[in-house]
Amino acid sequence: MFSVKFTLTIVFCPKSNNLHQEVKKKGPFTEAGIKQFLTELLPILEYIHSQKVIHRDIKPANLIRSQKDSKLVLIDFGAVKNQVNSMVANNTQTAFTAFAVGTAGFAPPEQMAMRPVYASDIYAVGVTCVYLLTAKTPKDIGCDPETGEIAWEPYVDISYSLAKVLKKMLEVSVKHRYKSAEQVLDAMAMAPYEQGMQDSMTTMISGFKTSGSPSTPNCSVSTGLITTSPSTRTRGNTVSSVSTELNKPVSISVNRGGGGGGGAAAPGSVYNMAHGATSTRRRGRGKTAFSDATEPKKKKKKWRSKTLLKAYNKGRRDFAHQELNELNLSKAFLPGINCYDSKLSRINLQGAELSRADLGRADLSEAIMKNANLNEAYLGYANLNGADLRGANLCGANLNYANLQGANLCGVDLNSARITEAQLSVAKTNWRTVMPSGKRGFW
């Protein structure tokens, strides 16, 4: 038995809306918005858990964004302010409580059974993400009658990597769920690289013919499991070691004639949750693809301005990890486009519509983005060295850890943007620049 002391800080935010109200007013979040939300909330949750506190009532109504600085605030610690009977048995994360707390649908089974763990908050964050993506509560979505899991997949159309993270956050079994906020952040950082490794280890043979012998009939061979060696990731200034297992079979498809089939999802491919499949590029007729060190790497598609706009107009939104340097997309209409980790050096985006775009980790050095609309865009860790953003709209944009060395922010609207004084100190601003506080002038 031990006692728990709580220090409660009351924050008065009279003009702030909670995320439930925000969704009702502005509609569901985009994938970029969800990534931004998670990168803001998870460090908060990580700190709370480090203080040996389980919130137990995370939901959209308990998350507000201050209009003063647009920072996310987690409120309502009423679920934990009461003294807990903390008899810890075997598992140090488990506390037996005398009462069940939480909101139905957002609280996982173990919490409703009065055995909350730190991973219970991870589940609640996952359900919150589903609500932000769909504007539907768990009650509206329903659940799988056999497993009891929330049947959220048919309601969203997101990338494979994000879907994989959300699915593990929403595992009914604590054993299979992320145990900490740090694990979720690790998974988000590793997802694009994991997909790349998975794709490189998938061998597909298409249109194979044996020299001097009849064509080989259609067949399929499946081998055993693959385990990758530990790899590293970088998040901010922190480097940690992550061990990843890709329990995916290697499939070898031998077809006569046309392009090869299936395989692992390529980086940036779109995961259609309604059908549980990923869209992949078809290989050309008669070509053979091997995952072999002696084979040259497949060249990335060479994008031109017209082909990119045509693909976007046909419904494609995912242009992550692409070579888009020096394209002319002046005045292009590209809201919600995903250019995560893409190379856009010296690209012309003057006057372009890029609201809620995902430009995280993108190379935008010397890009021309004058008068572009980047409202609520995600630019975390992006390289904007020498970029021209004069007159651009960056209201509500996330510029966390973005490199703004030499960037021209004269006349830029940064109202409610996530940006620091240190970042602004290395950029060019003037009296017309609207600061995050909403006031014009220098910081």
Handedness of CA 28, 32, 34, 36 (dihedral sign): negative
DSSP letter (8 states) at residue 153 = G
Question: Is 57 among the catalytic positions?
Answer: yes
| CB of 197 closer than 8 Å to CB of 247 | no
Residue 330 exposure: Cα atoms within 13 Å on the Cβ side: 7
Burial, 367: exposed, middle or buried (Cβ in 10 Å; 0-12, 13-18, 19+)? buried
Rounded to whole angstroms, the maximal C-alpha distance in the chain is 81
For residues 360 and 157, what is the distance between their CA atoms, to the nearest angstrom? 19
What region does 273 belong to: left with phi over 0, alpha with psi -120 to 50, or beta?
alpha
The one catalytic residue among 57, 341, 358, 363: 57
Measure CA 120 to chain center: 20
**Cα 217 to Cα 102, 252, 319, distances in angstroms:** 58, 13, 36
Asked if residue 291 lies in contact with residue 202, where contact means CB atoms within 8 angstroms, the answer is yes
Contacts (Cβ under 8 Å, ≥6 apart) of 378: 32, 33, 35, 36, 356, 357, 358, 359, 360, 397, 398
72 phi/psi in degrees, rounded to 5: -80, 135
Find, among 39, 71, 40, 45, the residue nearest to 58 by Cα: 45
Helices (H) and strands (E) in the chain, counts: 10, 14
Burial class (CB in 10 A: 0-12, 13-18, 19+), 413: buried
Q: Are 329 and 349 in contact (CB under 8 A)?
A: yes
| C-alpha–C-alpha distance, residues 383 and 362, integer Å | 6
- To which residue do tokens 């009351």 refer? 10
- Number of alpha carbons in the 13 Å side-chain half-sphere of residue 342: 27
Q: Which residues are catalytic?
A: 57
